[in-house]
Structure 1
Amino acid sequence: MSELKILIVDDDPVTRSMLKHTLNAHGYLTAEASDGADALAKMAAETFPIVISDWNMPNMNGLELCEQIRKHDSEGYIYTILLTSNNAMEDRVKGLRAGADDFIGKPFNKDELLERMAAGERVLNLETREALIFALAKLAESRDTDTGLHLERVQRYARFLTQELVGDPAFADEIDEEFIQLVYQTSPLHDIGKVGIPDSVLLHPGKLSKDQFKLMQSHTVIGADCLKGAIAKSPKAKFLHMAHDIARFHHEKFDGSGYPDGLVGEKIPLAARIVAIADVYDALRSRRIYKPAFSHERSCEIICGDAGSHFDPRLVAAFERVHEQFATIAERFSEPSELPGSAEPKELEMVH
């Protein structure tokens, strides 16, 4: 028996009543909303780990509700299920792109509903693992007090960018809902290797010397080696393999000029290519001891200008479609010390 509180969103009171009866009978607590706008109002006042929403509703439909849930984000993950008779593949892709986690056919089957709920609970239970991952990443980051809410922003940028790739045939064999969640969970570990970088380099207030920069580059290998040890203990843990790839390869460049291995193009793991854009965008937008913050517009110009050289051009195209969400995240998770300023072109070397 579960005690999760579920928000049921449907403009049809009969459907709401049937869903409520079924869920209550199996130990779930429920609340109701008549459309997306009503749901957002209730979610602003109360926490709902799972939302079941009809697709077609007046005022704000289920797709728009999913988009708003992902755009505004929350302290805990909100598992969203769309109740729909739109069963064509293109409709499912559209729903996933909007941020839906699962679908239930309409009219719903009781047994299917309960199994979908159980699947949702399994995903939500992964938040315990996510909290541990984030705590480890924060521990490494704590040595550098100039990074602010960098980890919080990067994982949200990465999730938005990954969700935008859903439905792209080029990534159909790699990206599914599990991949999206794993990118979100493991992206904070991208700089875990900085725990092994001396303060004299990590906190250096100016441009690094050649030897210092080489030492700084080694954080990718240090982080990957740490995670290799964990993989040896749990070789089937997918999140550890993805965390390893992100830690080692997020400074590789699409044209092969990156480090530590000089990988080219698609030889760079997709998760690392995604985090590379998220990490650089945040570095550009953030004030550092060696540079002021860049504006959103200037940061976008730099990233788009590096398509095909630093970044996978297909990911840059996706970034261009969701850049406004990046700006929203940057503003929401900013601190007074990270307000935009201006920077000279010579300072770009430090963030690349």
Structure 2
Amino acid sequence: MKLLVVDDDLVSRAKMGKLLSALGHKVVTANDGDEGWDAWQSEQPDVIVMDWVMPGMDGPVLCEKIRKAESVHYTYIIMVTSKSSMEDLSNAMSKGVDDFIVKPFRKAEVIARLGPAMRIINLQTRDIVIFSLAKLAESRDSDTGEHLDRIRHFSKILAENLLNTGKLDKTYQQSFVEDIFLTSPLHDIGKVGIADSILRKPGKFTADEFNEMKKHSQVGYETLNQCAQSYPNANYLQMAADIALNHHEKFDGSGYPNGLSGEDIPLAARVVALADVYDALTQKRVYKEAFTHEAAYAIILEGRGNHFDPMVVDAFIECESKFIR
């Protein structure tokens, strides 16, 4: 993370900066609140570690000023102080302080306080990455915007049913539901690599055009897998890559790109496959009219065990009213 240390005491500022640098973070320093304000605007740090009492603009005032000015990028603010009264701490938190470190600070406490900051920043990064990539896909395909929103809700409905009805083993947790809601909109991100002449074609594809269209699964996987390799602890990125590659695989092995079958297909991709087909069936496209829910329901049931995982189809049957709503 990029951290800004704001402290008017040279020794304290240098000591904190050295500790944070040793922990692997990029550190910027400021001598007082006014310098801290300038540094926040120019550097956009992830975290600020600031002293409370400083000449001119003190810590709480600087914090309040930042909170009024920030927009998308959230800055996690830790106040270093010897104050301990509930009134003082409550007042600082009302100004937007996230956490406190007690003077004189200890290495173990600093490390502990940075833990929550890291989690908040990682969540923010995750959401920004997913939103940006989904918007990239949307920019290429006029049908994508509302489709992405419906897909994520259909996928979440199915995942919640699978988890809550005991269809999944204990290795799956609530995070599976949350991650599939976040990542399912990226299933067709690979379409950014497909020519407009094919992507926007109103009629039926030729065999060559269909083969070209099928490449979007591999393009999407390669894009997202590179991100996943760079951030190995970001499990949601690996799920996104798995979905992009495998959401056109079929349970009987007749899908693409690799002809996977059964449980060799990642579960998240099996879930999104059904959600994607249901939405494609029930929405009007340039090449077809919208199917009724009843017609789409019959097609999905017909695909149980060949196109779709029977377990996921059973979840769909149980959640039919939620899909309609």
TM-score range, shorter chain: 0.5 to 0.7
Unaligned runs of 5+ in 1: 1-24, 30-117, 329-352
* C-alpha deviation, 1:297, in angstroms: 1.2
| Alignment match of 1:281 (pick from 278, 281, 288) | 278
* C-alpha deviation, 1:131, in angstroms: 4.2
| Alignment match of 2:236 (pick from 236, 239, 249) | 239
1:147/1:288 contact within 8 Å kept: no
Amino acid paired to 2:245:
R
- Output one character per residue of 1:113-171: Cα deviation in whole Å (capped at 9) or x when no partner: xxxxx99xx68983652243023112112211133400000001000110001144441
2:151/2:275 contact within 8 Å kept: yes
1:193 and 2:196 equivalent? no
From the superposition, tell whether residues 302 and 168 of structure 1 become closer, same or farther in structure 2 (CA, over 3 Å).
same
State the Cα RMSD in Å. Answer: 2.7
Unaligned runs of 5+ in 2: 1-89, 95-114
1:150 and 2:164 equivalent? no
* C-alpha deviation, 1:234, in angstroms: 1.3
Amino acid paired to 1:189:
L
* TM-score, reference length from structure 1: 0.57
The DSSP-based 3-state class of the residue aligned with 1:236 is coil
Work out the CA distance in 2 between the residues paired with 1:27 and 1:151: 41
2:217/2:244 contact within 8 Å kept: yes
| Alignment match of 1:139 (pick from 136, 139, 142) | 136
Amino acid paired to 2:272:
V
2:271/2:312 contact within 8 Å kept: yes
1:264 and 2:261 equivalent? yes
* Other-structure match for 2:84: none
The DSSP-based 3-state class of the residue aligned with 2:276 is helix
* Other-structure match for 1:298: 295
From the superposition, tell whether residues 125 and 244 of structure 1 become closer, same or farther in structure 2 (CA, over 3 Å).
closer
Query: Where do 1:53-92 residues align within 5 Å?
Result: none
- Output one character per residue of 1:224-280: Cα deviation in whole Å (capped at 9) or x when no partner: 011121122112210111001000000000000000000010000000000001111
Amino acid paired to 2:204:
K
- Output one character per residue of 1:200-241: Cα deviation in whole Å (capped at 9) or x when no partner: 100111110000000000000000011121122112210111
- Output one character per residue of 1:296-348: Cα deviation in whole Å (capped at 9) or x when no partner: 111111111100010001110110111111121xxxxxxxxxxxxxxxxxxxx
Amino acid paired to 1:205:
P
Work out the CA distance in 1 between the residues paired with 2:123 and 2:133: 16
| Alignment match of 1:171 (pick from 148, 168, 171) | 168
2:138/2:145 contact within 8 Å kept: no
Work out the CA distance in 2 between the residues paired with 1:288 and 1:247: 21
1:228 and 2:220 equivalent? no
- Larger of the two Rg values belongs to structure: 2
1:146/1:289 contact within 8 Å kept: no
Work out the CA distance in 1 between the residues paired with 2:321 and 2:201: 33
Query: Where do 1:195-214 residues align within 5 Å?
Result: 195-214=192-211
1:304/1:316 contact within 8 Å kept: yes
| Alignment match of 1:126 (pick from 120, 123, 143) | 123
From the superposition, tell whether residues 130 and 210 of structure 1 become closer, same or farther in structure 2 (CA, over 3 Å).
same
* Other-structure match for 1:45: none
Work out the CA distance in 2 between the residues paired with 1:297 and 1:151: 22
* Other-structure match for 1:7: none
Work out the CA distance in 1 between the residues paired with 2:177 and 2:92: 29
* Other-structure match for 2:216: 219
Aligned length in residues: 218
* C-alpha deviation, 1:178, in angstroms: 0.8
The DSSP-based 3-state class of the residue aligned with 1:311 is coil
- Output one character per residue of 1:61-113: Cα deviation in whole Å (capped at 9) or x when no partner: xxxxxxxxxxxxxxxxxxxxxxxxxxxxxxxxxxxxxxxxxxxxxxxxxxxxx
Work out the CA distance in 2 between the residues paired with 1:154 and 1:238: 20
From the superposition, tell whether residues 215 and 268 of structure 1 become closer, same or farther in structure 2 (CA, over 3 Å).
same
* C-alpha deviation, 1:174, in angstroms: 4.0
* TM-score, reference length from structure 2: 0.62
Amino acid paired to 1:284:
L
Amino acid paired to 1:238:
N
Overall identity of the aligned pairs, in %: 49
